[in-house]
């Protein structure tokens, strides 16, 4: 078992005819991801890498029973594309592009909740269930099937955490990238709750960073979890008022400092790792 | 993007939110002329992109045109909260009965728009929230919710409005909400909202902050003379150079040059260097899939910084490829030359190809590799960070 995506997921790529869409479709296919179709309005009937292209998501669902979508479109088209997917019955959408307008993402979140759809991103590296499916832009080399789940706002940190888990023999159930934008389709709360219910996941590593309050909000979920949660926060030495790469990674006033996030995680009972090498040391204490 | 008061008021007047017929002055003479024309006492307000202007001395009053000129000159030759004052907004001084507050903002936690009214205006709303939270009334709405007038009525009542004034004020709330939505704002505030002695509501100040990521929807702003600005505050020369190359870069005050991959690891790598007793000279983000040329430029930013004593490099090839990474480093070594010691780790997508590029280039030009130590997946990143700290201390 895994969360959100596995080898039976029937995946479409929205924006499959674009440069990034095509490039990553090839990579995802090579990993074994079951990509059944793609969309590109006006290009219905064409094929990309032998995958049929449709004008609408509706057709992908009708003809291929698609249930999952990865979006590779410019930010300004994302809201409409995701809502189209939601109304067509897609249950899980991964938004790779960054800089989605905040009100667009809030609208997406509302529509998604109406239909019970889960949306990841924007500005996420994607999600991978090692050995089964890879949705997005993450490198295969870091990941091995195993028993620890990971959730992070950053792609590069996901690779380092997974690499550490793979090399120490724990491996991963599913690795989830929430995304680096200021307002996201899913929060730590949503993903932690899914890991808690997943039988195969024995522990969760959660990596946060400065900015926003998604890490602080996770406190209420972590408190209720039976599985160990290992928490890591980036930006302890970040200068206030400066944006560090991710649009969401900026400390404004007292909100979103690394200290407030660490405090919330500690109070919730999470185990704090300072470096990646701390992660296997903490896991050793649990019989997993 | 934050707007200046005079820009926000342009948008206010489009939405029929009452403002005074003020005027922008850039010189002492313009300020004097405005006061002469008005024939009344005036207020002069420094146009800066920061709140708390009044407390910081950015608002002045003048009874005569002569005094207006003097006050204008004072303002135009100072900096307030670190912002140089280039423009002042001149308004006639009003007879104020009461100062109120209206604000709309986004609640990122609950994915809502929040409309706030407070019967105590002219002070920071955060302060009132701490001291007298009962003075604030709040309405939370879904982002796609139409704003009905009864919500405006409810907030206007909270602000003490009655009769005709209740209708007028609730219409202001409705207009402010529509303005917020129309321009994809993150924040709109009227603080203070004046109630004058003769019973009029007038926006005393106007604060607006727009979502940078939605600016593409608003070409009309440029037509109104509101230029798109990127807010970085004061930039160092190197930060300006990096911006020209479109590399997210910040100068920090340490001596270890940071050459990381993505933003997330850039933030965490900064912490690692601190844990091992060092201090980074910068933050940098390569962005997804950087070209070899871009990578070479990133190294130029570090090697040419006189404060940098050693360079810490990390590449976990995801969307970015290790062969491109190696190519970039080699271009830099050949064309520029590395004067600082550098330790780097490379793994991920196409790492074997990256290693091959390094090996071949080293066979040809062993001399350009003398300052560089290259590691692969077998060495934990923590050891690389430690080594960078050691190298910096040796210099």
User: Looking at the complex, does the CB of residue A239 fall below 8 Å from at least one CB of chain B?
Assistant: yes
Would the pLDDT of B132 be above 80? yes
State yes or no: pLDDT of B3 exceeds 60. Answer: yes
Q: Could you tell me the CATH number of the domain that includes residue B64? A: 3.30.1490.20
Q: Which residues of A228-259 are buried (b: 16+ CB within 10 A; e: fewer)?
A: bbbbbbbbbbbeeebbbbbbbbbbeeeebbbe
Same domain, B324 and B368: yes
If asked whether residues B87 and B205 sit together in one domain, one would say no
pLDDT level of residue B84 (50, 70, 90 thresholds):
confident
Distance between start and end Cα atoms, chain B: 43
List chain A residues with CB under 8 Å of B186.
102
Residue B108 pLDDT more than 80?
yes
Domain segments of chain A as ranges: 11-120, 139-284
Q: What is the C-alpha separation between B190 and B169, in angstroms, rounded?
A: 12
Q: Where are the alpha helices (DSSP H) in chain A?
A: 19-31, 57-64, 78-88, 102-115, 155-167, 188-197, 214-217, 219-224, 258-267, 278-284
The answer to whether A71 faces chain B, any CB pair under 8 Å, is no
pLDDT single digits (tens) B374-391: 999 889 999 999 999 999
Q: Looking at the predicted structure, is the pLDDT value of residue B276 above 80?
A: yes
Distance of CA A245 to the CA centre of its chain: 18
CA dihedral of residues A90, A121, A215, B246 (deg, nearest 10): 180
Query: What confidence tier does A254 reach under pLDDT thresholds 50, 70, 90?
Result: low
Phi/psi for B338 (5° steps) reads -100, 120
Q: Residue A160's closest chain B neighbor by CA?
A: B316
Of B230, B263, B280, the position where a domain reaches its end is B230
C-alpha dihedral (B221, B225, B226, B231), degrees to nearest 10: 130
Residue B151 has pLDDT above 60, yes or no: yes
Q: Is the dihedral of CA B167, B172, B173, B179 positive or negative?
A: positive
pLDDT at B226 over 80: yes
pLDDT digits 0-9 by tens, A78-100: 999 999 999 999 999 999 999 99
Q: Which of B178, B219, B264, B287 to mutate to test the interface with A (most CBs of A within 10 A)?
A: B264
Residue B321 has pLDDT above 70, yes or no: yes
Domain termination residue (choose one: B93, B116, B147): B93
Q: Confidence band (pLDDT; 50, 70, 90) for B233?
A: low
Q: So what's the pLDDT on residue A103? A: 95
How far is Cα A84 from Cα A66, in angstroms, rounded to an integer? 13
pLDDT confidence tier of residue A194, bands split at 50, 70 and 90: very high
Judge if B326 and B210 occupy the same domain: no
A102 touches chain B (CB under 8 A): yes
Residues B378 and B248 in one domain: yes
Q: For residue B50, give its domain range.
A: 22-93
The separation between the first and the last C-alpha atoms of chain A, rounded to the nearest angstrom, is: 16
pLDDT, residue B204, reads 94
The pLDDT of residue B231: 66
Query: Which 17-36 residues of chain A touch chain B by CB within 8 A?
Result: none
Q: How many CB atoms lie within 10 A of CB A98?
A: 20
| Cα torsion angle, B324, B325, B330, B333, sign | positive
Q: Are residues B282 and B356 in the same domain?
A: yes
Which of B143, B268, B316 faces A103 most closely, judged by CB atoms?
A: B143
Q: Are residues B60 and B196 in the same domain?
A: no
| Helix B292-303 × helix B322-335 angle, to 10° | 50
Which CATH number is B152's domain given?
3.30.470.20
Alpha-carbon distance of A62 to A287, in angstroms, equals 46
Q: Kindly report, residue by residue over B333-359, the tens digit of the pLDDT.
A: 999 999 999 999 999 888 999 999 999
| pLDDT band (50, 70, 90) for residue B232 | low
Tell me, yes or no, if B262 comes closer than 8 A to chain A by beta carbon. Answer: yes
Provide the 10 A C-beta neighbour count for residue B362: 16
CA torsion through residues A88, A90, A96, A100, sign: positive
Q: B124 pLDDT band (50/70/90 cuts)?
A: confident
Do B259 and B381 sit in the same domain of this protein?
yes
Check if B285 contacts A (Cβ < 8 Å).
yes
331-350 of B, contacting A, C-beta below 8 A: 347-349
What does the pLDDT read at residue A252?
58
Give which of B267, B314, B382 to mutate to test A binding, by max A Cβ within 10 Å.
Answer: B267
pLDDT at B125: 87
B199 and B255 co-located in one domain: no
Distances (CA, A) of A23 to A48, A227, B347: 10, 37, 20
- Pick the residue from chain B with its C-alpha nearest to A103: B143
> Do B262 and B324 fall into the same domain?
yes
pLDDT band at residue B260, thresholds of 50, 70 and 90? confident
Chain A residues 170-209 with CB within 8 Å of chain B: 180-183, 207, 209
For chain B, the domain total comes to 3
| Partners of residue B211 in chain A, C-beta under 8 Å | 101-103
Looking at per-residue pLDDT, the higher value among B80 and A185 belongs to: A185
- The structure tokens 């003769």 sit at B198
pLDDT band, very low/low/confident/very high, at B98 (cuts 50, 70, 90) = very high
Nearest to A155 among B144, B233, B262 (CB): B262
pLDDT at B230 over 80: no
pLDDT at A127 over 80: yes
Q: Which element (helix H / strand E) includes B385?
A: helix B381-394
Mean pLDDT within B228-252: 85
**A58-62, A152-156, B196-200: the lowest-pLDDT one:** A152-156
Same domain membership, residue B340 and residue B252 = yes
User: Residue length, chain A?
Assistant: 288
Distance between CA B260 and CA B285 in Å, rounded?
7
Query: Which domain CATH number covers B289?
Result: 3.40.50.261
Out of B143, B252, B348, name the one closest to residue A141 (CB): B348
From B144, B264, B275, residue closest to A155, measured CB to CB: B264
Q: Please determine, looking at this structure, whether the domain spanning A11-120 carries the CATH number 3.40.50.720.
A: yes
CA-based nearest residue to A153, from A122, A107, A128: A122
Among candidate residues B200, B230, B260, the one where a domain is terminated = B230
pLDDT computed for residue B56 by the predictor:
86
Report CA-CA distances (Å) from B31 to B3, B35, B57, B89: 22, 6, 18, 9
* B377 in the same domain as B359: yes
What b/e readout covers B20-50, taking b as 16+ CB neighbours within 10 angstroms? Answer: bebbbbeebebbbbbbeebeeebbbbbbbbe
Give residue B277's pLDDT: 96
> Do B103 and B187 touch, CB atoms closer than 8 A?
yes
Task: State yes or no: pLDDT of A247 exceeds 80.
Answer: no
Q: What's the confidence (pLDDT) of residue A109?
A: 97
The CA distance from B292 to B284, in Å, is 16
**Which of B109, B211, B264 has the CB atom closest to A157's CB atom?**
B264
The model's pLDDT over B160-217, given as tens digits with 9 standing for 90+, comes to 999 999 999 999 999 999 999 999 999 999 999 999 999 999 999 999 999 999 999 9
* Model confidence at A177: pLDDT above 80: yes
ipTM: 0.88
Other CB atoms within 10 Å distance of the CB of residue A85? 31
Nearest CA in chain B to A137: B319
Task: Tell the residue number behind the tokens 């409705």, with chain if given.
Answer: B174
Query: B216 with B306, same domain?
Result: no
In this prediction, residues A168-185 reach a mean pLDDT of: 95
The CA-based angle B208-B210-B214, given to 5 degrees, is 160
The pair of structure tokens assigned to B272 is: 């690692």
Q: How confident is the model at residue A255 (pLDDT cuts 50, 70, 90)?
A: low
Instruction: Please identify which of the residues B5, B7, B67, B189 carries the catalytic annotation.
Output: B189
Q: Given a cut of 60, is residue A39 above it in pLDDT? A: yes
- CATH numeric code, A139-284: 3.40.50.261
Q: Does B354 touch chain A (CB under 8 A)?
A: no
Query: Bridge-partner residues for B141, per DSSP?
Result: B113
**Is A244 within 8 Å of B319 when comparing Cβ atoms?**
no
Please state the φ and ψ torsions of residue A73, each to the nearest 5 degrees.
-135, 160
């Amino acid at each position: 078992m895994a969360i959100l995506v596995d080898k039976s997921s029937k995946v479409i790529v929205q924006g499959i005819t674009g440069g990034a869409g095509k490039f990553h479709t090839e990579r995802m296919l090579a990993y074994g991801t079951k990509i059944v179709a793609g969309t590109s309005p006006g290009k219905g009937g064409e094929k990309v890498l032998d995958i049929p292209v449709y004008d609408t998501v509706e057709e992908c669902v009708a003809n291929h029973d698609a249930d999952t979508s990865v979006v590779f479109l410019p930010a300004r088209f994302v809201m409409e594309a995701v809502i189209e997917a939601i109304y067509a019955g897609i249950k899980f959408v991964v938004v790779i592009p960054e800089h989605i307008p905040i009100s667009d993402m809030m609208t997406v979140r509302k529509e998604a909740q109406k239909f019970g759809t889960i949306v990841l991103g924007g500005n996420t590296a994607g999600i991978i269930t090692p050995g089964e499916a890879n949705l997005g832009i993450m490198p295969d080399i870091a990941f091995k099937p195993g028993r620890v789940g990971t959730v992070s706002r950053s792609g590069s940190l996901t690779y380092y955490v997974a690499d550490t888990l793979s090399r120490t023999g724990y491996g991963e159930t599913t690795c989830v990238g929430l995304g680096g934008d200021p307002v996201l389709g899913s929060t730590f709360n949503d993903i932690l709750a899914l890991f808690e219910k997943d039988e195969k996941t024995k522990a969760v590593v959660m990596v946060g960073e400065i900015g926003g309050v998604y890490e602080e909000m996770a406190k209420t979920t972590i408190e209720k979890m039976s599985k160990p949660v290992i928490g890591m926060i980036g930006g302890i030495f970040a200068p206030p008022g400066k944006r560090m790469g991710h649009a969401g990674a900026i400390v404004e006033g007292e909100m979103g400092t690394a200290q407030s996030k660490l405090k919330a995680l500690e109070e919730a009972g999470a185990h704090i790792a300072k470096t990646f090498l701390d992660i296997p040391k903490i896991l050793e204490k649990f019989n997993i | 993007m934050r707007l200046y008061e005079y820009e926000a008021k342009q948008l206010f007047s489009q939405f029929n939110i009452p403002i005074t017929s003020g005027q922008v002055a850039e010189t002492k003479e313009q300020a004097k002329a405005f006061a002469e024309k008005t024939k009344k006492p005036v207020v002069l307000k420094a146009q800066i992109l920061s709140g708390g202007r009044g407390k910081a001395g950015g608002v002045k009053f003048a009874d005569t045109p002569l005094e207006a000129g003097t006050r204008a000159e004072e303002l135009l030759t100072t900096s307030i909260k670190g912002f140089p004052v280039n423009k002042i907004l001149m308004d006639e001084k009003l007879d104020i009965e009461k100062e109120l507050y209206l604000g709309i903002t986004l609640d990122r936690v609950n994915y809502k728009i929040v409309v706030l009214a407070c019967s105590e205006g002219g002070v920071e709303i955060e302060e009132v929230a701490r001291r007298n939270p009962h003075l604030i009334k709040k309405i939370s709405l879904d982002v796609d919710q139409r704003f009905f007038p009864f919500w405006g009525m409810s907030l206007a009542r909270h602000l003490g409005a009655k009769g005709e004034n209740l209708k007028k004020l609730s219409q202001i709330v409705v207009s402010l909400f529509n303005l917020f939505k129309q321009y994809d704002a993150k924040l709109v505030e009227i603080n203070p909202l004046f109630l004058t002695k003769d019973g009029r509501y007038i926006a005393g100040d106007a604060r607006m902050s727009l979502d940078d990521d939605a600016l593409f929807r608003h070409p009309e702003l440029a037509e109104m003379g509101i230029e798109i600005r990127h807010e970085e505050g004061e930039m160092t020369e190197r930060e300006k150079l990096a911006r020209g190359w479109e590399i997210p870069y910040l100068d920090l005050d340490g001596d270890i040059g940071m050459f990381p991959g993505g933003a997330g690891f850039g933030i965490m790598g900064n912490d690692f260097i601190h844990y091992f007793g060092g201090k980074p000279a910068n933050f940098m983000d390569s962005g997804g899939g950087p070209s070899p040329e871009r990578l070479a430029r990133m190294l130029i930013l570090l090697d040419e910084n006189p404060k940098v004593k050693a360079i810490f490099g990390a590449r976990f090839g995801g969307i970015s490829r290790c062969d491109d990474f190696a190519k970039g480093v080699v271009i830099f070594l050949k064309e520029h030359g590395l004067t600082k010691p550098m330790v780097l780790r490379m793994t991920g997508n196409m790492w074997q190809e990256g290693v091959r590029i390094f090996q071949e280039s080293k066979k040809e030009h062993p001399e350009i590799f003398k300052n560089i130590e290259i590691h692969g997946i077998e060495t934990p990143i923590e050891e690389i960070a430690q080594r960078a700290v050691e190298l910096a201390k040796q210099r």
